[in-house]
A and B are shown apart, each in its own frame.
Chain A
Amino acid sequence: MKFSVTARSGTNEASAPVKRLALSRHSARIGFLFILPWVIGFVLLKAIPILAALVFSFTSFNMLHPENIRFVGLQNYLNILHDRDAGSSLFGSVGYFVLAVPIEMIAALGLAALFSSDWLRGKRLLRTLFFMPSIIPAIAIYFIISGLVNPGSGWINRLIIEPLDLPPPAGLYMLFPVIFALWSIGPGFLIMLAAMQAIPREIYEAARVDGAGPLMRFVSITIPMISPAIFFSLVINMISSFGGVALLDRGLPYSQSLSPMESYISYQMFSFLNLGYASALAWVMFLVVMGITVAIFRSARYWVHFPEEDENVEI
C-alpha cells in the first residue's frame, strides 16, 4: 500500500497541468462510455416515452382507430374533471398512500427499535423471518389472504369468529392493503436498523447519565440520528405505494395495482384502448406524486439531520 501512495504522489507532482487536462479529457470520454448504457436506456425507455405520453395526452389517440388521431388540446384533462371514476380512483390512490405508508413506517421503526436491544435473542433468524414476507409474490399473498378470510376453512372464522361467537365481520377485504403494508416493511426495517446500529453508544451513555429515560432517549437521540434512514425509506415507500418500483417489487399487474389510479389507467388503456385519455390520467397521477415528493423533500430540512457529506457532493 505504501508503494502505491508514493507512486501516486510522485506522478502527481511531476505532471504538468497540461498533461492533467489531457488525462481528464481522456477519462471523461471513457467515463461517458461506461455510462452510455444508462444514457441510451434513459433516452429510449424514459425520455421518449414520457414525451410521447405528453403528446398523446393532448390527442384523441385510440388504438381501435389509430388513423383518427387528432389534436384535442386540453379536452382529455377537462374530461377527467367530469369523470367520477377518475376522481374516486385518484382519491383511492392517495388514500392507500395515507393508509399504507404510516403502517409500514411505524411498524419498521418499532421493530428496528426492538431489534437494537441487547436483550433480544436469535436476532439473525428473527431478522430474516421479519424480512421474508417482503419478497413473497403478490399473487401468493392474494391466495393466502383469500384463504384466510374464506368463511368455510379460513382461520379468521375458525380461530377467531366462531370460538368467540362474534357476528360475521363485514370489512374483511380491508385486510388486503393492511397485510400488504405490514408485509412490506422489510427494506425499511433493515435500513432503519442499520442506521440505529451506527449510532455511537457514548451518546446514549451521556444521555443516561443526564437522567434521560428510554422514551426520551428514543425521541431525542434515536429518531434524529436515524432521520436520513427514515427519510430514505419514506421516499421508497411513497414511490411504491403509488405503483412505482423502488427496492423490492412484489409484482402486481397494472390491472390489479393496490393504487386504484393505476388500475384505472390500465383499464382505460386496455379495455377501451383510449391511449390519449389514459396518458392524460397518468399525467394527473404524476403531478400528484410529484407534489407529494416535492413536499417530502421540502419538509426534509425541518426534520432530517443529514451528516456533512463533502465526499458525496463531488461526482
Chain B
Amino acid sequence: MWKSKRPRRSDFSTLSLRLWDFTGMALLNLFVWLAALIYLSPLTYMFITSVKTSEQLSDSSAPILPARPVMYEYEGRARYVYYVPTESGTRQLALIDSDRNGAFFIDPQDPEAGLIRWEGSWRTLRRVYSPHWEFGNFVTLWERIEYPRLLRNTLILVFLGEVGVLASSIAVAYGFSRFRIPGGKYLFLLLIATIMIPDSITLVPTFFIYANLLDWLRSFTSTSAIYYIPLLLPHFFGSAIYIFLLRQNFKAIPRDLDEAAMIDGASPLRILVSIILPQAVPTVVTVGLLHFFNAWNEMRMASLFLGVSQERTIGFSAQAFQSYGFTPEFLQASALMLMIIPILVLFLAQRFFMQDMVVTGIEK
C-alpha cells in the first residue's frame, strides 16, 4: 500500500496521519456516491412516479414519495382526511360537507362526537397521505400496450440478429486475423473507414432499395414478418465495429495452438470453433451484449419500416405512448418497462462486460 510509503512529516503523529487518510477516504466516497445519486436521480424520479396514483399526481401539495390520500368512510361514502388547524392544534379530520364560509368535518378517531364546524376555505387545507406503492399501474399498462406481444416481437428480432451478427462478425474477424489475404490490410482499413460514415449518407438509397424489395415481397405474401427484413438483413454481413473488437482479440491469442491443430489436419472452421472461440469468450459475450443493447434500442430502421406493420417492437410502439394520452405515472411506468430488460441483462452480465472493456482499452 502506498499509504505507508508516504513521507511522514515530523509534526504529524501516525495517528493524525491515519485520521487524515480516513477523512480523505470518507470525503471521496461521499462525493462519488452522492454523484451517483444525482446522476441517477432522473431514474429515481421515473421509478417513484411510476408507482404513484394519478390522484396524488394531480394534487400539488401531495408528498414527493408514493402515497395515497387517507380516506374515511362516512354514511357509505369515502371522504378525504385533511390537516385542519384548530384551537387545540392541527387535527386530522374528514371533510363531510362544505359551504361558502366553511366546512363540516368529523374526527375519524372519535366519530361519536358528531360534526365539527370549521370556518375558512377548506381548499387551502392539505390532505393527509399514507405511504402506498401503486404497482397496479404496471398491471394496467401490461394489458393496455400488449406488452407480452411487443416483448415477443422484440426478442425474436434481437435473437435472430444476434445469431447473424455473431456468426458473420466472428467469421470475418477470424479471416482478418489469421489468414494472409492479398490486400487484406487495405480491406481492413476500408472496414474501419465504414465506421466513420454517417448513416444519413446511405439512408436515401437504402430506403429506396428496401422499399422496392418490400413492394416486391408484398406481391407474394401478406405476412407482416417481411417488414423485419430491413432490420435483420444488415446484421448477417457482420458489423464493422464488432469485427474490429473481435479481430483485436483474436490477434492477441497465441498462434501456437491453432498451428499445431492445422498440422494435425484440423480444418480452419474447426480451429475457429474448438481453439479460438473458447479463448475469446469474454469478447464474444461483450459483442453479443453490445448487439443486444443496440438491437433492443434500435429505432432508425424500425421507424422507417415498421410504421405499416402490426407487429411492432417495443421501442417503436413506445413512440406512440404519448399520443395514447398517458398520464405521468403511466408514461414513467412505460419508460421503466421499456428499459428493464436491458438493465437486468447488464447487471447479470456486468462481469463479462467490464472485463472485456479492459482488453479493448489496452488494445486501443
Contacts and interface: CB of A to CB of B under 8 A. Distances in A.
B200 A262 contact: yes
B218 interface: no
B149 interface: no
A179 B315 CA distance: 20
A252 interface: yes
Contact of A114 (B32, B199, B332, B353): B32
Sort A-B residue pairs by CB-CB distance and give the 9 closest, nearest first: A41-B237, A31-B179, A34-B175, A194-B361, A251-B297, A4-B260, A253-B303, A251-B299, A35-B175
Given A35-B181, A138-B299, 16 more contacts: A28-B182, A37-B237, A38-B168, A41-B236, A52-B208, A126-B33, A131-B350, A135-B343, A140-B336, A144-B332, A147-B331, A229-B364, A251-B294, A254-B199, A275-B204, A312-B251
A250 B295 CA distance: 9
By DSSP majority rule, is chain B's interface helix, strand, loop, or mixed?
helix
B236 A37 contact: yes
Contacts of B217: none
A133 B43 contact: yes
A240 B240 CA distance: 15
A261 B46 CA distance: 31
Contacts of B196: 235, 239, 244, 289-290, 293
Interface string B200-213: 11111111110000
By DSSP majority rule, is chain A's interface helix, strand, loop, or mixed?
helix
A8 B346 CA distance: 42
B64 interface: yes
Interface residues of A, number: 121
Contact of B205 (A48, A145, A158, A182): A48
A46 B338 contact: no
Nearest to B164: A37
Contact of B238 (A32, A38, A44, A159): A38
B20 to A, nearest CB: 12
Contact of A243 (B42, B198, B240): B198
A99 interface: no
Contacts of B200: 243, 254, 261-262, 265-266, 281-282, 285-286
Contacts of B334: 143
Contacts of A195: 361-362
18 contacts: A31-B178, A40-B237, A135-B339, A136-B339, A139-B299, A143-B332, A144-B335, A147-B332, A153-B49, A187-B357, A193-B361, A235-B196, A245-B199, A251-B294, A254-B203, A269-B204, A285-B198, A315-B185
